[in-house]
Amino acid sequence: MNNQCLVSVENVSFIYSKTKVLSEITLKITRGDFLAVIGPNGSGKTTLLKLILGLLQPNEGKIQILGKDIKKFSLWNKVGYVPQKATHVDPFFPASVLEIVAMGLLSSKRFPRFITKSDEKKIDQALELVDMQKFKTTRIGELSGGQQQRVFIARAIVNHPDILFLDEPTAGIDGASQARFYDMLDILNRIQKITIVLITHDIGVVNKYIMKIACLNQKLIFHGSHDQFCQSSVIEEFLKGEQHLICHRH
C-alpha cells in the first residue's frame, strides 16, 4: 500500500439557496484508506460526496480524482458508487440482478455498450465476491434490503475500481445484515485493495473496520486516523457522551 493520493479536495465551498452547506473543505484520500465521513444530519456529508463525484459543482475550490480535475475526469470505471437511496428500490422494477450489475460495466465500455460473454464472467466474479451468484436471475425487487445492497456493491466493484464511495449504505437494513455487509467491505478493502469512503452517521457500527475518520459539520472538524480521533478533545466536545462508545474496537 502506498500513499498515492486518489482524491484531493482543496478549499471547496458549496452554497445552496444562499446557505453555505460546505465551507473551505480540504481533504486528501490516499490509496488503501478505509475512511468514514461522519457528522450530524445536514452537516454536508452527502453534498461532499456528490461534489467529489461531479454530481454537484462547487462554488469555490478544486477537486481532483486520480490526478484529474473532476470537470475533465473520464475514468469512471475506476470509481464505484453506492448511493444512499440504493436501499429504496422500486419493488416492481423488472430488472434482474444480472442486469443491475451489468449497469456497472457501462462506464468501461465504448459505444455501443453491448454486454459480451466476457462481461458476463466479470459479473459472475463480482456476484461471487458479494456471495450473491445464486440470485443472478432473480428480480431485484424480490431480494431483501441487505441482499439488494450486496447487489449494488457488486455493481460498484464489477470494474475493479480503485475507489469505492458508499453513502449511508445500511440505512434501513437490520443489524445482522449490517454486520455481514461491513465484514464484506473490510474484505474488499484488505484483500481486493479497494479504497473505501463511507458516509455514515453511525460511527459505532463501522468503528472496528475504519482506518481514518473525517468529521464534518459544514467545515472539516477533524481528519485523521482512528486513534487520533479517539484522543481528540475537539471531537470529545463535538460528540459529547458518545466518545467512549466510538473508541471501543471489538
Partner 1 sequence: MGIFSYHFMQRALWSGILLSIACAMLGIFLILRREAMIGHGLSHIAFGGVAIGLFFHVLPMVTSLLVVSVAALGIVKIKEKAGVYEDTAIGIFSSIGMAAGIIIASLAGSFNVDLMSYLFGNILAISSLELWISLALTMTIFISIVLFYRELMFITFDPESAKASGMKVSRLESLLAILTAVTVVLGMKIVGLLLVTALLVIPSAAGLQVGKSFGQTLLLSILVASLSVFLGLIFSFYGNIPASGAIILIASLFFLSLFLFRILKIKYSLSG
Give residues in contact with partner 1 (CB under 8 A): 53-55, 74, 76, 79, 81-83, 85-86, 90, 92-96, 98-100, 102-104, 106-107, 111-115, 137, 139, 155
Asked if 232 and 243 count as a contact pair (C-beta separation under 8 A), the reply is: no
Q: Which is nearer to partner 1, 157 or 246 (CB)?
A: 157
Taking the C-alpha atoms of residue 239 and residue 140, their distance in angstroms, rounded to an integer, is 38
Minimum distance, C-beta of residue 147 to partner 1, in the bound complex (Å):
16
Q: Which is nearer to partner 1, 114 or 175 (CB)?
A: 114
Q: Which is nearer to partner 1, 99 or 236 (CB)?
A: 99
Handedness of CA 86, 88, 92, 97 (dihedral sign): positive
CA-based radius of gyration for the chain: 18
Minimum distance, C-beta of residue 145 to partner 1, in the bound complex (Å):
16
Q: Which is nearer to partner 1, 91 or 204 (CB)?
A: 91
Taking the C-alpha atoms of residue 83 and residue 45, their distance in angstroms, rounded to an integer, is 12
Q: Which is nearer to partner 1, 92 or 175 (CB)?
A: 92
Minimum distance, C-beta of residue 90 to partner 1, in the bound complex (Å):
7
Minimum distance, C-beta of residue 124 to partner 1, in the bound complex (Å):
16
Taking the C-alpha atoms of residue 210 and residue 212, their distance in angstroms, rounded to an integer, is 6
Taking the C-alpha atoms of residue 76 and residue 80, their distance in angstroms, rounded to an integer, is 8
Closest CA to 28 of 73, 62, 72: 62
Minimum distance, C-beta of residue 225 to partner 1, in the bound complex (Å):
28
Phi then psi for residue 29, to 5 deg, are -115, 125
Name 215's bridge partners: 38, 222
Minimum distance, C-beta of residue 122 to partner 1, in the bound complex (Å):
14
Q: Which is nearer to partner 1, 92 or 241 (CB)?
A: 92
Query: Exposed/middle/buried for 58, CB within 10 Å: 0-12, 13-18, 19+?
Result: buried
